[in-house]
Amino acid sequence: MERTFLAIKPDGVQRKLISEIIGRFETKGFTLVGLKFMNVSRELAEQHYGVHKERPFFGSLVEFITSGPVVAMVWEGDGVIAAARKVIGATNPLTAEPGTIRGDLGANIGRNLIHGSDAPETAQSEIALWFKEEELVNWQPTILSWIYE
Ligand code: DAT
Ligand code: MG
């Protein structure tokens, strides 16, 4: 089973959208294996978004992600990395499809509510960056045979 790293950004928390957002992954059939509510240090933010450090928006991105608490999560499921990106929608909420989290709930690229790993390599490194192994819960939901053939 694949795992991905998702984080509800400070705008999602401030706007009281935690349950709305988590609910979409729960009802889809993915399994929650890690969850913590936390403030993000500048160091963690800069590591997490290191790939963007030469981009003009890097400074404001780090300011934003450190501006208030986030909900950091690991979710598990068959093909969850790509599928979660689809549930999340395009980077810019203005062009994200209706039905996606960003398409339904957001209106600005700098306030796009949620992060999701974009590939197996980034999922692996982001999970390791945000979570210790002992913070992840290995479990099998009893309904799994009703979600997967
Ligand atoms: P995504 O979050 O969809 O993976 P990304 O990795 O390209 O998008 O960028 C990381 C975050 O940086 C993104 O969620 C919002 C911000 N961002 C990206 N492009 C931007 C832009 N052109 N202007 C302002 N913020 C931007
Ligand atoms: Mg990205």
Substitution candidate for ligand 1 out of 63, 91, 95, 118 with most atoms within 8 A of CB? 91
Is ligand 1 within 6 A of the CB of residue 48?
no
Q: Is 52 an annotated catalytic residue?
A: no
Number of independent structural domains in the chain:
1
Is ligand 1 within 6 A of the CB of residue 148?
no
pTM of the predicted structure, to 2 decimals:
0.98
Residue 63 near residue 46 (C-beta atoms within 8 A): no
Q: Is 9 annotated as a binding residue?
A: yes
Q: How much is the ipTM here?
A: 0.99
Write down the catalytic residue from 34, 115, 116, 127: 115
What is the chain's alpha carbon radius of gyration, rounded to the nearest angstrom? 15
Percentage of the residues of the chain whose pLDDT score is greater than 90: 99
Across the chain, the runs of DSSP E, i.e. the strands, are 2-8, 31-38, 70-77, 114-116
CATH number for the domain spanning 138: value is 3.30.70.141
- Cα–Cα distance, 45 to 99 (Å, whole number): 28
Instruction: Please give the residue range of the domain that contains residue 76.
Output: 2-146
- Cα–Cα distance, 7 to 23 (Å, whole number): 14
Torsions phi, psi of 80, nearest 5? -65, -30
Is ligand 1 within 6 A of the CB of residue 100?
no
Residue pLDDT, tens place only, 42-72 = 999 999 999 999 999 999 999 999 999 999 9
| SS3 label, residue 106 | coil
